[in-house]
């Protein structure tokens, strides 16, 4: 009994002084939500470390199944719009289906962009791992990693939850409406309908084919949603880490203690320390270059698709629709605008964080430093004056002002379609 008591005492003391390895934050904690959504459709966006993370044939077949099904539904949607315009009928429903077409195409293109940029994305993650604070309490507290992780999860969970609410609402609305009318209200007018497009090569009304058709379209909606939001979640996770590094660098510069006049070899020590901080700044800038190279196309697609989507949704709301359809359209409108706002907000935070380096240099006690030290500070400040932001390829540098540009462009499209309809 005494031996057992001593063992428990020793382990309890050891537990107080040593933290388990998983108590520290790693880069995967920032990336886990986009990785989760990608893996549910059978895709690894970058090469994961470890032998257990290598996908098997079943994983690849899952991705193939998702893509074939999503593109089959996309083809049916395009054909439905073509037939409707050719026969000059179902104009309102065609506008709704055109919104779905844009959403699925963007989801497909974002998945394709990730596949094409997989090696670059892997290199980006490896570079981020090389500068990520090590799993030691002192370093992680200096970077305040936990606070940035909480911010990251707050944005990613909120955004992911919004779009999951959107796709679940659209996937389940039709079958819930039919079930309530038929089994609860016992209405003789209860009619089966599918989530996205009524046109199929087979007859699905009032027979067993309704259920696989409904499941296929629901699955296509989930695939498009995962492809659409996972890249955005990845952008948010990478951007918040870059902001963390900029803030850490600004803090290091502000708290820099100049020793040129207080110690004999203080000037050399100051120069060595400043060179390390400049090298750190160069690494952060390198991360932003790779980040924009990897995600530039996805960002451009976001603006093009969201402006078109807001335009079509606004048009349908303006011509008068049923209350349940109005609720669904408002949910789309909120989701599309939230996506663009978050992208603009993250880019503005990057601009502010990168610009803070220049102010941190000015706040240093540089007047007592060696002349060589002061010249290096000038170079650092000049580089920091060029803002770092998210870029939608070469077409657009994103900031919070881009949100107003997006809204103006969407309104112009809306007015054009409204004029054509009248």
Least confident of 30-39, 144-153, 382-391, 409-418: 409-418
Average pLDDT, the chain: 86
CA distances from 388 to 109, 281, 296, 320 (A): 26, 12, 14, 44
Note the pLDDT tens digit of each residue in 365-380: 888 888 888 898 988 9
Whether 15 shows a pLDDT value over 60: the answer reads no
pLDDT above 50: residue 12: no
54-93: pLDDT as tens digits: 778 999 999 999 999 999 999 999 999 999 888 888 777 8
pLDDT of 3 above 70? no
Does residue 178 sit within a domain? yes
* Higher per-residue pLDDT: 1 or 407: 407
| Residue environment code for 141-150, b if the CB has 16+ CB neighbours within 10 A, otherwise e | eebebeebbe
Tell me how many domains the chain contains.
1
Name the token pair of 96: 């709704």
CB of 302 closer than 8 Å to CB of 346: no
Residue 14 domain-assigned?
Answer: no
Task: Number of helices (H) and strands (E) in the chain: give both, helices first.
Answer: 12, 2
d(CA 128, CA 137): 19
Among 288, 170, 278, which Cα is nearest to 220's? 170
How much is the average pLDDT of 309-334?
Answer: 82
The reported pTM is 0.88
Q: Confirm whether 323 is domain-assigned.
A: yes
Range of the domain at 318: 27-46+55-421
Of 122, 157, 331, the residue nearest 237 (C-alpha): 157
Mean pLDDT of all residues in 210-224: 95
Query: Does residue 252 lie within any of the structural domains?
Result: yes
Answer whether residue 330 is part of any domain.
yes
Confidence of residue 338 (pLDDT cuts 50, 70, 90): very high
Within-domain flag for 4: no
On whether the CB atoms of residues 311 and 409 are closer than 8 A, the answer is no
216 conformational bin, left if phi > 0, alpha if psi -120 to 50, beta if neither? alpha
Q: Calculate the CA 364 to chain-centre distance.
A: 36
116 within domain boundaries: yes
Average pLDDT over residues 111-137: 91
* Range with top average pLDDT, 88-97, 224-233, 391-400: 224-233
In a domain, 9, yes or no: no
pLDDT of 284 > 80? The answer is: yes
């Amino acid at each position: 009994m005494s031996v057992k008591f001593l063992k428990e005492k020793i382990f309890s003391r050891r537990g107080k002084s040593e933290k388990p390895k998983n108590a520290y934050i790693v880069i995967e904690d920032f990336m886990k939500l986009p990785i989760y959504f990608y893996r549910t459709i059978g895709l690894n966006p970058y090469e994961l470390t470890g032998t257990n993370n290598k996908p098997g044939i079943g994983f690849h077949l899952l991705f193939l199944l998702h893509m074939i099904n999503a593109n089959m539904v996309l083809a049916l949607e395009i054909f439905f719009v073509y037939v409707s315009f050719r026969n000059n009928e179902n104009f309102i429903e065609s506008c709704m289906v055109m919104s779905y077409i844009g959403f699925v195409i963007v989801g497909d293109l974002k998945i394709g962009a990730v596949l094409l940029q997989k090696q670059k994305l892997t290199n980006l993650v490896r570079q981020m791992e090389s500068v990520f604070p090590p799993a030691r309490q002192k370093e992680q507290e200096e970077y305040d990693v936990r606070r940035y992780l909480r911010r990251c999860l707050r944005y990613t969970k909120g955004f992911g939850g919004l779009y999951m609410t959107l796709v679940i609402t659209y996937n389940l609305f039709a079958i819930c409406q039919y079930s309530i009318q038929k089994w609860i209200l016992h209405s003789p007018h209860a009619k089966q309908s599918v989530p996205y497009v009524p046109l199929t090569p087979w007859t699905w009304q009032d027979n067993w084919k309704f259920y696989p058709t409904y499941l296929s379209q629901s699955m296509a909606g989930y695939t498009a949603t995962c492809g659409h939001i996972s890249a955005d979640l990845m952008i948010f996770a990478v951007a918040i880490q870059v902001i963390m590094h900029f803030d850490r660098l600004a803090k290091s510069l502000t708290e820099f203690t100049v020793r040129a006049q207080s110690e004999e070899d203080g000037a050399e020590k100051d120069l060595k320390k400043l060179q390390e901080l400049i090298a750190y700044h160069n690494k952060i800038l390198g991360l932003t270059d790779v980040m924009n190279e990897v995600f530039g196309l996805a960002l451009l697609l976001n603006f093009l698709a969201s402006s078109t989507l807001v335009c079509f949704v606004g048009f349908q709301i303006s011509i008068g629709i049923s209350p349940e359809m109005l609720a669904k359209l408002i949910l789309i409108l909120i989701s599309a605008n939230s996506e663009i706002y978050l992208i603009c907000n993250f880019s503005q935070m990057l601009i502010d964080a990168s610009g803070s380096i220049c102010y941190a240099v000015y706040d240093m006690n540089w007047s007592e430093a060696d002349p060589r030290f002061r010249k290096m500070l000038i170079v650092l400040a000049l580089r920091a004056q060029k803002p770092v932001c998210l870029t939608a390829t070469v077409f657009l540098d994103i900031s919070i002002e881009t949100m107003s540009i997006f809204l103006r462009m969407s309104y112009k499209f809306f007015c054009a379609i409204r004029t054509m309809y009248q």
